[in-house]
Amino acid sequence: MRFNPPPMSLIIASLYLLCLAFLFGSALYVFSRDPFSRLNATYALLALSLFGWVGSLFVYNAQTEGQALLYWGRLNFASVALIAPVVYLFVCTLARQDVRGRLWIGVGSGIISLLSLFTGLVDKSETVLATGEHITTYGWFFPLYLLHILGFVGAALWFAFRPLSKLPRENHIQLRLVGVGVLVTAVVGIMANVVLPYFYHNFRFINVGTLSTIFFLAMVAYTSVVHHLFNIRVILRTTLVFTVLIALTLEFYQVAIEFLTHLLPLGDPAQRQVAATTIALIINAFTHEPVRLWLEQLVDRLVSGQKRRVVVTKGRH
């Protein structure tokens, strides 16, 4: 029997799409800024790996049965197998640590990713319950797969919070901020996507784990804007403003429609829906521009304030 998954809420779907757009766009832009920079190239690879993780789960949630359900589930595991070592390489590059055996890291991680995608060693099967909840049956290799992830993430956090003392102060700040982003995303992701499903057979919070990527992206964006991680303030300013603006617009529109539908004194439900939609669109049209300008001023004030502090600090020496 075929069971349909429960429909994804508008806010969750919009967060997925915004996260995917930011990941793909930032990967292309950061890499294009300096293709020969190891830091830029590693970030682009990390963003694309995260894109595979977030995107595969987004599509997986809409699958109900058959080979497509299993394929997207395994692709999700395969993406995570690449994310962990790339996070490690990204942090090491930022920390100016010489990483030996990059080739072996790539080969080993690639093999684990391919095994996750094309065999049942990690993801043995996928099913959908009558409630619409997706259930994964794990293969015998999953504990080793988990050790692979924890090892690289743990090493990345070590270098992020224990940087070399000879590094400039700005690099220390960048590493701490990126480390906080990695730590929060890793803790939430492992709890929601590993601990609860694997040990307690609770798969209800897998979206929370994947969408915790947004916190990592927020920390990278903040570090880039304020502490010049990639020196791409203009593009990140625009991206941050419109990402927040779209999220606020979607959420406000949904709440306004629901509120106005119950408030308007019209007997026909269809007429109430049309009237509520019209009023919500009018309100949204008048509030869009002021909110955009306020967000741009907020980002500019944040950046200019940081620059003033840097100038004052330099002037004291």
Identify whether residues 196 and 297 lie together within a single domain: no
**Which tops the pLDDT comparison, 268 or 29?**
29
- Whether residue 48 is contained in a domain is answered as yes
Percent of the chain past pLDDT 90, that is, above it, reads 43
- Whether residue 236 is contained in a domain is answered as no
Identify whether residues 205 and 258 lie together within a single domain: no
- Whether residue 131 is contained in a domain is answered as yes
The confidence band for 131, taking pLDDT boundaries of 50, 70 and 90, is confident
Token duo for residue 206: 């897998």
Identify whether residues 196 and 287 lie together within a single domain: no
Q: What is the pLDDT of residue 313?
A: 47
pLDDT digits (tens, 9 = 90+) for 80-115: 999 999 999 999 999 998 888 899 999 999 999 999
Task: Over range 49-58, report the average pLDDT.
Answer: 95
Token duo for residue 232: 């791409």
pLDDT for residue 1 is more than 50: no
- Whether residue 86 is contained in a domain is answered as yes
Rounded mean pLDDT of the chain? 81
Q: Distances from the Cα of 277 to the Cαs of 11, 58, 140, 270, 292, in angstroms?
A: 17, 27, 52, 11, 22
Identify whether residues 169 and 283 lie together within a single domain: no
**Which tops the pLDDT comparison, 58 or 242?**
58
- Whether residue 4 is contained in a domain is answered as no
Residue with tokens 């065999």: 119
Cα–Cα distance, 119 to 266 (Å, whole number): 58
Identify whether residues 211 and 268 lie together within a single domain: no
* Number of domains composing the chain: 2
Residue 215 CB partners (closer than 8 Å, separation 6+): 181, 184, 185, 188
Cα–Cα distance, 151 to 168 (Å, whole number): 27
Identify whether residues 78 and 189 lie together within a single domain: yes
Identify whether residues 69 and 200 lie together within a single domain: yes
Identify whether residues 204 and 258 lie together within a single domain: no
Closest to 113 measured CA to CA, from 150, 153, 84? 84
Residue 60 CB partners (closer than 8 Å, separation 6+): 69, 72, 73, 75, 76, 134
Evaluate the CA torsion angle 156, 161, 164, 169 in order and state its sign: positive
Task: Over range 231-235, report the average pLDDT.
Answer: 54
Identify whether residues 197 and 254 lie together within a single domain: no
Identify whether residues 251 and 133 lie together within a single domain: no
pLDDT digits (tens, 9 = 90+) for 148-207: 999 999 999 999 999 877 888 888 999 999 999 999 999 999 999 999 999 999 988 999
Task: Over range 5-28, report the average pLDDT.
Answer: 81
Give the three-state DSSP class for 317: coil
Identify whether residues 47 and 145 lie together within a single domain: yes
Closest to 204 measured CA to CA, from 12, 2, 10? 12
Least reliable range by pLDDT among 72-81, 138-147, 203-212: 203-212
CATH number at 23 reads: 1.20.1070.10
Domain that holds residue 157: 10-231
Cα–Cα distance, 84 to 53 (Å, whole number): 11
The confidence band for 224, taking pLDDT boundaries of 50, 70 and 90, is confident
pTM of the model: 0.75
- Whether residue 3 is contained in a domain is answered as no
Residue with tokens 């990639």: 230
- Whether residue 169 is contained in a domain is answered as yes
- Whether residue 204 is contained in a domain is answered as yes
Identify whether residues 151 and 101 lie together within a single domain: yes
